[in-house]
Chains A and B, each alone.
Chain A
């Protein structure tokens, strides 16, 4: 449907009310689709829409122009209510060229009947091959039942600026403001904010582009939507998961972050490098991840609890150091922003593949705390909690996030700072006579650490097995005492954990269990099938080790339990796979061992966070043999294993 070529006449059309949409803006990298998408999301959020944005990032810094793999941009889910995940396929796609669009088509990211807005300049490209490619894709879209709308982005932008490549994104922002009935004043303000370091001339040019896009859409498009808004009554912050981690580090009172660059963790350190000094903190870029971890341990040992931030390969390198911190009982926070593995794997893609490595990593018996952040807000508070646990129990706390949370943005309530979040000032008071370096407490295994600078507390910590004085253990019973006490600490922490709440009914036919970043998608899927009368609930874990009490009892109240995770598990449909040789998903392994419940699992190691629609399909598949029971009776007594 080539656009009508009518003159600009700004008469607002009636808008169709919808509840939510998933919008994608994609371009070659460097064309600013990211900035356009983020601005679009910010404006919608300010108006009071629920939003969740996902970055679409090519693997290379400068992928070839007009290439399928080069698609760069942003996916924005906007809705009337709060959203907790990126949603399903895109309902509207703006593409700066047909190749990047093809990439999204191949990835099966377009919903049936999705609206496609395509830059039309390629149709008449002087390079015949380009023009041909464009018309081929266009025809394919039409054949697939889409109605692509061609937009002369370049032509329109050139009326205002000399280099359309640098202005198209704001033109598109204007288009989207018209299509989704967004507040143009907010859009103008947004532009003034993002270009605030630029000249007034640049800001005004971008305002013009915005308005041109808006006017063009008003004059030429028949589509207009309105998603109801509920303006927030409380202040909210719009941040991504890695910024939330960085803010959490600042708010936790930690002073030292030692790191080595690695995708997708780096942006947390980038952010901290910029602002940590404002609270007196320092980011040390070490020579490698081993050094980063050792540096953090040194700092923690000297009384300044430190954090090291990394991802898969770097996390592997830290294992020996993590064991040392466990052994010497030195507090340490390790953040692993998981990516696709193993090895270099898929640096920019999310995966929840490191849970078991986190739980069982290092060597020997190295008990450590493992937490997983469930959403953006949780990234912030988890760091604060991690620091506190690390210092209370003098141990390692591993906090798992992933590439999905790292770049996803969501509005969350603005945190209210509390001094309780901070570590108390370091103790430099003299140590009373007779107090030992490891005064393991009988009930909890805890020790009161002695910090360098404390008179009368001199001792040498060691990674060798040691006794209460921290002297190298040359006899076996001494080693056993240390092993027991370090393990006991996790049990003591476990006693303080609340049983996680069940989402949905307490009993039923199927319980879906997840952990970390999949919470939003799983709960949305469960809600959808519950709306259809299915007896399905879900449970979501944040503490992986230790695991709160009461979980086994919950599992036992359901007929079936299914772990849904963003990691690999063998598919029982595969010929070779049997109960005997099946490799389960990470959490399923752990929960089966802990609860003796025969837990099933489903996992995906895709290119993106798990979608609610996918989880929904999996749930329906698992329940397929059963008819829908709209009026499910109380099943409290049923289905015990």
Chain B
């Protein structure tokens, strides 16, 4: 039987990547945890984009949500509580060929890592950041987080927390050099997927706050929103999210919002009684830090020798003869 040349190759190297390829370890989150939905959306995105797994790095901090990288079939960096962003920046700085994603919790991002968040926004490095906001410290077993609503009973606030919740959307919309801000919820997979996808497609620092259910410690926190579509406000725009007819039918509260409109975004974040879902802000013209700081020449031993010799010349005393 004749063997065709094409059959001599074990693999042509251009097969479709399957969803399974993007799966890593078996998730150990609680049943019903919103993180599972985020994981599913991200794996689907990687598959749809046919990302080369070896070129993708998921960086996280510490928390339930920060276990995320272990569950991906890509490279991952599960680092320190609060420090995911600076690690991710370091990864990206001289490896622009890598796709960088960050998974961080509300404690991780808005409390211990808050300073990094503000500065990461300003650096505007090309990465997709998902802040899994369950309004609680999950991994350490139920302490109030900055985003816990006032009155939240937790192990550190047994009589209810005293302070109004910190608003990450309003905060981030006030930061300098902003380039992408969105809000998603874990219980509407279609929107979750679309929003993360837009974040990924945006070239710059894409910050996505995801309201994430923690049935273990905050079982009722988002229940009302889940049950009652009326509690959400869907932001739609031809340059933002466009709803499928199915969703449009269920979620009647819609607002046409141009992602270029920062003041409008701030108004929505600061004043809306409903939970806004969609792209609040996007500005494609903010330069990325890693681009600004790229080497101008190919780094070779010759370049280093030349640079070093030039420097040494400045300090040299030559023998006079």
Contact = CB atoms under 8 A, between A and B. Distances in A.
Interface in A262-321: 275, 277-282, 284, 286-288, 290-292, 294-304, 306, 320-321
B87 A472 contact: no
A458 B307 contact: no
A302 B94 contact: yes
Contacts of A286: 86, 119
Contact of A460 (B77, B309, B311): B77
B304 A250 contact: yes
Contact of B293 (A284, A321, A414, A459): A284
B93 interface: yes
Contacts of B85: 291
A417 B309 contact: yes
Given A233-B319, A247-B312, A453 B95 contact: yes
B228 interface: no
A217 to B, nearest CB: 25
Interface string A558-594: 0000000000000000000000000000000000000
Nearest to B294: A282
Interface stretch (A17-25, A66-74, A235-243, A529-537): A235-243
A353 interface: no
B88 A298 contact: yes
B297 to A, nearest CB: 6
A213 to B, nearest CB: 23
Contacts of A277: 295-296
B245 interface: no
B79 A324 contact: yes
Interface string B294-321: 0111110101111111111001111110
Contact of A237 (B59, B116, B317): B317
Given A460-B75, A462-B70, A294 B80 contact: yes
A320 B69 contact: no
A287 B91 CA distance: 17
A314 to B, nearest CB: 14
A471 interface: yes
B75 A452 contact: yes
Given A295-B90, A455-B54, A419 B308 contact: no
B243 interface: no
Contacts of A291: 83, 85-86, 115-116, 119
B89 interface: yes
A297 B306 CA distance: 28
A462 B77 CA distance: 6
A471 B78 CA distance: 11
A279 B308 contact: yes
A324 B79 CA distance: 7
Residue in A46, A286, A453, A454 whose Cβ sees the most chain B Cβ within 10 Å: A453
A231 interface: yes
B312 A414 contact: yes
A296 B88 CA distance: 10
A296 B93 CA distance: 10
Contacts of B308: 247, 250-251, 279, 417
Nearest to B25: A471
B293 A294 contact: no
B255 interface: no
A256 B90 contact: yes
A256 B86 CA distance: 13
B76 interface: yes
A295 B316 contact: no
Contact of B87 (A275, A294, A459, A471): A294
A275 B307 CA distance: 8
B293 A460 contact: no
A292 B89 CA distance: 10
A278 B293 CA distance: 12
B78 A301 contact: no
B95 A452 contact: yes
Nearest to B95: A302
A340 interface: no
Contacts of A184: none
B310 A302 contact: no
Given A459-B75, A461-B76, A295 B315 contact: no
A232 interface: yes
Nearest to B67: A472
A639 interface: no
A218 interface: no
Contacts of A298: 59, 77, 86-93
A175 interface: no
A281 to B, nearest CB: 8
A454 to B, nearest CB: 6
A14 interface: no
A282 B293 contact: yes
Nearest to A412: B315
B312 A422 contact: no
Contacts of B281: none
Most buried by A among B62, B88, B297, B299: B299
A231 B57 contact: no
B109 to A, nearest CB: 14
B78 A464 contact: yes
A273 B85 CA distance: 23
A255 interface: yes
B304 A458 contact: no
A33 to B, nearest CB: 21
Contact of A295 (B93, B304, B309): B93
Contacts of A302: 57, 90-92, 94-95, 98
B24 interface: yes
Contacts of B77: 298, 301, 328, 460-461
A411 interface: yes
A286 B86 CA distance: 8
B98 A459 contact: no
Contacts of A453: 54-55, 95, 97-98
B143 interface: no
B137 interface: no
A294 B90 contact: yes
A453 B299 CA distance: 19
A415 interface: yes
12 contacts: A236-B316, A238-B315, A247-B311, A251-B308, A280-B298, A284-B93, A297-B90, A302-B91, A419-B305, A452-B98, A453-B98, A458-B54
Interface of A: 45-46, 231-239, 243, 247, 250-251, 253, 255-256, 258, 275, 277-282, 284, 286-288, 290-292, 294-304, 306, 320-321, 324, 328, 411, 414-415, 417, 419, 422, 452-464, 471-472
Top-3 shortest CB links A-B? A298-B90, A460-B76, A280-B299
